[in-house]
Structure 1
Amino acid sequence: MSAVAKHIAVIGGGWAGCAAGVELAAKGARVTLFEAARTLGGRARAVQAREAMLDNGQHILLGAYADTLALLRRVGVRESDALLRLPLQMRYPPQSGLMDFVAPRLPAPLHMLAALLRARGLEREDKLALARFTTSARWMDWGLNLDCSVAELLTRFGQTPRLIRLMWQPLCLAALNTPIERASANVFLAVLRDSLGARRKASDMLLPRVLLDALFPEAARRYIEARGGKVLCGARVDAIAPQATGWQVRSGADAAEADAVLLATPAWQSAALLRALPELDALAAQLDAFEYEPISTVYLQYAADLRLPQPFCALLDDPAHGAWGQFVFDRGQLDPGQGGLLAVVVSAAADAASLEQDALATAVASQLAAAFRQPGLAQPRWQRVLTEKRATFACTPGLVRPANSTALPGLFLAGDYTAGDYPATLETAVRSGTAAARLTLSPKA
């Protein structure tokens, strides 16, 4: 980088844009981050509902998310304060007779062997099928030469209907937000590689103890501003255009000059800006072709002393009979200030999102009452449904995702939709933002 610091315009204040801004600021660049919304965080943010501040979706991180954890440390967020670390698990409500699988704190792969031997709710044939699958996946180095659907993968490796129903299907929905019939086997295998196939600590599950804006975006803002950067919320970028010596960024009546632009908006918003650049017609068309899956989060507030048996539980969904929830999180076990608040996640939620919000919330409350054998759960004090209609791209087999670089010098993409072996996760967004920032500062940028 030259003696005069590069000025980089980062467009988009989600996790990819914030990660890029932090990386750029750490390397001495002058950063101006534009965010159209009034708050940072993108789709992973906290929102003000009528009753309380709520996360726009419940997230689980993995211990394998090395880039995200390193970034949190860089901006001063302590893991012990912000995240609850739990061993890898798939646990249904007690007395349900369904799966109870917990990996003990033993070195890998002993932790998986012990979990399999101790698992309840699985028959001998289920355990043998799971053991065969993980052994075969390791032998294949957790990848296929030719991608296929997760459903086809599971059939090919003789997974039992019970194991598919209780483990593989909910894991795929949670990780890829795409039903197993349409989900990419290779991307699913990459997730399993870093959970079932990883060292014990990397397979841990990390649940946010704090609202998502406090987990990272606001700390990123402070980090960027402390190093001379600007974070502009409520600043929608209307157009970008190459100049003789850099780029112009237009936001309303204002125009700013930058040496380079890092576009960290969702794919469909990025496509809208790229369509004005004839050299990037093919890239804009590629982004326009993405399909999306929604996620609904149903919040149910009960008495503050309500407590579930675990911080989170899997739920047996059955949409045909009104059971929509796939996982329930006891927010009070994560944050004492949210006692009695349950968050129920419905991934790949197109059908659920078509219901009236009160109808969906009532159905989910009834599902919890039956699953935990507590009739009182059918009557929450208040309920709220938050649906992100384009929460993630549909992670289908063979999907080609764009690189961070573009055909125009000084213009880069960042986001959880860019090329990588992970689905649309916070870790993918962080990796993409950091990689794009490094490209932006390279001598060839």
Structure 2
Amino acid sequence: MDLGARMRVAVVGGGWAGLAAAVELLAAGVEVVVHEAARRLGGRARSVVMHGQRLDNGQHILSGAYGETLRLMQQVGADPARLLHRVPLALCFPGAASERPFALRLPRLPAPWHLAVGLFSARGASLGEKLAALRCLRRWQGTGYRLAADCSLAALLDHDRQFGALRRFLWEPLCLAALNTPAADASAQVFLNVLRDTVGGARAASDLLLPAVELDALFAQPAAEFIRAHGGEIRLSARVEQIGESLGIAGERYAAVVLAVDAPHAAALLAQHGQTADLARLLAGYRCEPIATVYCAYPRELRLSEPMLGLAGGSPTRVGQWVFDRGALCGNDGLLAFVLSGRGAWEELDNSALFAALAGELAGVLRRRLPDPAWVRVVRERRATYSCRPGLPRPAAQTARRGVWLAGDYVCDEYPATLEAAVRSGVAAARGILGAPAAGQRAGNGLT
């Protein structure tokens, strides 16, 4: 449908959801104005300057199942083959001197053999645990990865007798990485959705896609160039505080508005109109989970055995989760990035104590003393994502107010707060405006 001659759409928010909506609309010939409150695009997935280097505000991982993200990257001229390291899923926990190491790698075999062979060849788990995990996967697959009623992942694992090494090093770390919510609190249904589309899908869908460039270059910059090249407008430092009765923003009227902002900001805007008051209350009630990334600039010769290593594996006495070798990923030799997801004991430590704990745990894993880093930078996102809990009501893309649409990782009800969820939500909002809803997306009164 060619709506460009008579439709002008405002996209409020220049994160990945808003940029995805803008690209999709512009590709259909619609006039788009992006309003971004910050001075840079990218939202929570953006680059910042640290000690003279352009780094990410947090380490992100993509997967081969990120179909919409990969499609839009290609559409805006960002070649995934060049910008992402594609590697088979590998979860490696070397362990300290007194601990048994764990390693699981999925080979490049057709599905489902890649998963079966990967599980059976995993080091650090007993044969009984591996057989129990395969039986469990077959049960989940037999139900289409659907639960009769949602519950916490911990409760589901208890019910399906998933204990021992595979619970500690596979299920729980995957949950924390994907949902940014500890297994005791996380939605089992959303976790199963992730499994369905990754390890339960085609072999390539389970691959890890590790950024080889900073996040701005991965999508935000190419998307901005695409938007401007197709006649769109981007306004930075332009925070939207109100949407007028005739969909007016800063004195300009629009045919439609896409709210591609975080849940608290969306709630504040939606609360101003009676038709979206219930939706505003829903979003205002969302709880949040934190993420921290600790960058450490060690001597250039320091390298890890893997681009991504696991540390404690759920040990209650330690804080470390994952450490990434930015030298292997992005050419920042010697730069390590520790990532901490979800609520935990690490939140109680100040930056110095947090670094000391992580460095000590990594030294124990590597079984050697680490040199002093040239600098350390701790980036804490206290409200990084919503808490992906069982039965959490999620909004639809279309709100009860005519012409107002939602986009954001919290809108994509199948997925947790990931880049793919953000992109899918933006595409869904754009296609809803165009009259062609995205597959699997709902339209309605804004509540589920």
TM-score tier after normalising by the smaller chain length:
over 0.9
Deviation at 1:153, TM superposition (A): 0.5
* Alignment map for 1:417-428 (pairs within 5 Å): 417-428=410-421
Deviation at 1:53, TM superposition (A): 2.3
TM-score in terms of structure 2 length: 0.94
**Which moved further from structure 2: 63-72 or 233-242?**
233-242
- Number of residue pairs aligned between Structure 1 and Structure 2: 435
Q: What letter corresponds to residue 21 of structure 1 in structure 2?
A: A
Q: Distance in 2 between the 1:276 and 1:19 partners?
A: 26
Q: What letter corresponds to residue 102 of structure 1 in structure 2?
A: R
Residue in 2 aligned with 1:335?
330
Residue in 2 aligned with 1:376?
370
Q: Distance in 1 between the 2:94 and 2:7 partners?
A: 54
Alignment deviations for residues 24-76 of structure 1 (CA, whole Å, 9 cap, x no partner): 11011111001111111101111123453221111111101110000100000
Q: Distance in 2 between the 1:33 and 1:326 partners?
A: 37
| Residue among 321, 329, 338 paired with 1:344 | 338
Residue in 1 aligned with 2:429?
436
1:100 aligns with 2:103: yes
Q: What letter corresponds to residue 347 of structure 1 in structure 2?
A: S
Deviation at 1:355, TM superposition (A): 2.0
* Alignment map for 1:35-434 (pairs within 5 Å): 35-93=36-94, 97-243=100-246, 247-250=247-250, 255-317=251-313, 321=317, 323-336=318-331, 338-349=332-343, 351-376=345-370, 379-434=372-427
Please say if residues 173 and 314 of structure 2, whose CA atoms lie closer than 8 Å, have aligned partners that are also in contact.
no
Please say if residues 125 and 160 of structure 1, whose CA atoms lie closer than 8 Å, have aligned partners that are also in contact.
no
Q: What letter corresponds to residue 341 of structure 2 in structure 1?
A: S
Alignment deviations for residues 268-320 of structure 1 (CA, whole Å, 9 cap, x no partner): 00111111112211011011010000001111111112111011111115675
Deviation at 1:122, TM superposition (A): 0.9
Deviation at 1:327, TM superposition (A): 0.9
Alignment deviations for residues 201-223 of structure 1 (CA, whole Å, 9 cap, x no partner): 11111001111111001111000
Q: Distance in 1 between the 2:163 and 2:79 partners?
A: 41
Q: Secondary structure at the match of 1:241?
A: coil
Q: Distance in 2 between the 1:443 and 1:52 partners?
A: 43
CA separation of 1:15/1:388 partners in 2, compared to 1, >3 Å: closer, same or farther?
Answer: same
Q: What letter corresponds to residue 29 of structure 2 in structure 1?
A: G
Please say if residues 315 and 328 of structure 1, whose CA atoms lie closer than 8 Å, have aligned partners that are also in contact.
yes
TM-score in terms of structure 1 length: 0.94
Q: What letter corresponds to residue 365 of structure 1 in structure 2?
A: A
Please say if residues 57 and 296 of structure 1, whose CA atoms lie closer than 8 Å, have aligned partners that are also in contact.
yes
Please say if residues 317 and 324 of structure 1, whose CA atoms lie closer than 8 Å, have aligned partners that are also in contact.
no
Q: What letter corresponds to residue 204 of structure 2 in structure 1?
A: K
CA separation of 1:260/1:108 partners in 2, compared to 1, >3 Å: closer, same or farther?
Answer: same
Q: What letter corresponds to residue 430 of structure 1 in structure 2?
A: V
Q: Distance in 2 between the 1:142 and 1:440 partners?
A: 31
Residue in 1 aligned with 2:440?
none
Structure 2 unpaired stretches of 5+: 438-442, 444-448
**Which moved further from structure 2: 357-366 or 20-29?**
357-366
Please say if residues 8 and 260 of structure 1, whose CA atoms lie closer than 8 Å, have aligned partners that are also in contact.
yes
**Which moved further from structure 2: 94-103 or 224-233?**
94-103
Deviation at 1:133, TM superposition (A): 1.3
Q: Distance in 1 between the 2:436 and 2:142 partners?
A: 41
Q: What letter corresponds to residue 19 of structure 1 in structure 2?
A: A
Q: Secondary structure at the match of 1:409?
A: coil
For the aligned residue pairs, the C-alpha RMSD in angstroms reads 1.7
